[in-house]
Chain A
């Protein structure tokens, strides 16, 4: 007798920490990650009002280097990475020939001829494969650093003051280049010293709040996780799972691969047209991007609902009796207290203010098309 065997999910380098904190786990992109520690809602609110600490070590990190790496990335990805200033980050896309999205990425320039590409856990294999396949004539070196890198996100209005207090996490002349946590700008990064090693600290996130993402060697990760948690306790910092991460990013109107974006979605359909730099001489997907989607191809919208029942992924959207689209993500917004959703709908019904309905398990719930994001922090 034979049976197909799915490999067991991989453990994060911080798994023992989560176990000790009483986390519930879920399989996400082939990794067993914390879905919550106590309450999704309490974790969500902590990030909006104080701070939350997330283990996102499932994310894939791929180092790209070589004298030709900038030109290579301009061809391999949708954006222009060759001119990205040192220690800046950029949101980008890996497109297929048909213009569909293989993954969305954050790309950092970490050196004169060095970049770091951060991909979604579930897309690690196709991203690595595409990056290799697109080398062509370019002499670049690709190294998958995922297994040796932990990624910790500290998010929330208290994030900076907590991180500033963590003993042993220090700015040094050599690593920090005169940047401090206070002067570090959004979508910029800096090196910091930590217990004899170094940490890449970026002012980025997936929650709609101020915050940082810290790339650290797996050997030093647990110490850093514990130090931040201990230091932040007095500010209301709590460990947060993927459930809170999902409602936070949804309120912030940020796309999740496999929901708002995927192989059948052109960037412009998901409101990501600005991410594609079309005046580059060549990049994978260029012809399809220039042709654009069909006139009636669905577009991504935000919708606000009535009552307390959530419209969830795959529920159908109606304009009267006509099915006009499908929900890609939805929840009862913890911050707003009303149902929020993103959906792919026919362009005819995508204007803000359009009254639609979602079939929530047999009941039509009224929703209205609204601008994204649903939530924006005060500047």
Chain B
């Protein structure tokens, strides 16, 4: 199970990549595998203000629905239209082309480390 060491993680199986004051958010491979084939994605709109823990979208597979939680506070500056059009990208490349939103943050987040997340999922 891939858990890249350069990312931060949440208990809701999301990852965050910090690059300056903009962070990229996606779901982990563990989450994508658990969901199965993703067939529908609902993302927050550009400009939306995120509050950590709030439900801001959905990732739906053939068998189940996963909620997308805001991992950080900030403003959505980009939503990945490519995964809305081709949701299977999330299964194929959850840490790359399958990213979901980019968020401008006021402070650098300090979430779970890769090691902490690996422990959470029993890796």
Contacts and interface: CB of A to CB of B under 8 A. Distances in A.
Nearest to B64: A312
A36 B58 CA distance: 22
Contact of B91 (A39, A246, A308): A39
B65 A332 contact: no
A153 interface: no
A323 interface: no
A132 to B, nearest CB: 36
Interface string B41-62: 0000000000000000010111
B37 A41 contact: yes
Given A24-B33, A39-B91, A243 B62 contact: yes
B103 interface: no
A133 to B, nearest CB: 36
B40 interface: yes
Given A39-B91, A361-B58, A312 B40 contact: no
Nearest to B40: A308
Nearest to B84: A308
Interface in A224-273: 243, 246-247
B36 interface: yes
A28 to B, nearest CB: 12
A64 B37 CA distance: 42
Contacts of B40: 308-310, 332
B62 A247 contact: yes
Nearest to B36: A40
- Among A40, A44, A246, A334, max chain B CB count under 10 A is at A40
B65 A39 contact: no
Contacts of B62: 40-41, 44, 243, 247, 331-332, 334
A256 to B, nearest CB: 14
Contacts of A36: 36
Interface residues of A, number: 19
A10 B37 CA distance: 27
Given A331-B62, A332-B62, A361-B65, A39 B39 contact: no
B36 A243 contact: yes
Contacts of B33: 24
B69 to A, nearest CB: 15
B23 to A, nearest CB: 27
Contacts of B91: 39
Contacts of B36: 35-36, 39-40, 243
> Which of A36, A246, A310 counts the most chain B CB atoms within 10 A?
A310
A246 B58 CA distance: 22
A30 B63 CA distance: 19
B12 to A, nearest CB: 17
Q: Which of B33, B36, B65 has the most CB of A within 10 A?
A: B36
Which of B61, B63, B88 counts the most A-chain CB atoms under 10 A from its CB?
B63
A36 B91 CA distance: 14
Contact of B37 (A39, A246, A309, A312): A39
A247 B91 CA distance: 19
B65 A40 contact: no
Nearest to B61: A40
Interface in A24-71: 24, 35-36, 39-42, 44
4 interchain residue pairs of minimum CB distance: A41-B37, A40-B62, A332-B39, A308-B40
10 contacts: A40-B36, A40-B37, A40-B63, A44-B62, A243-B63, A310-B39, A310-B40, A332-B39, A332-B60, A361-B65
Interface of A: 24, 35-36, 39-42, 44, 243, 246-247, 308-310, 312, 331-332, 334, 361
Given A41-B62, A42-B37, 8 more contacts: A39-B36, A39-B37, A39-B91, A40-B36, A40-B61, A243-B63, A310-B40, A332-B40
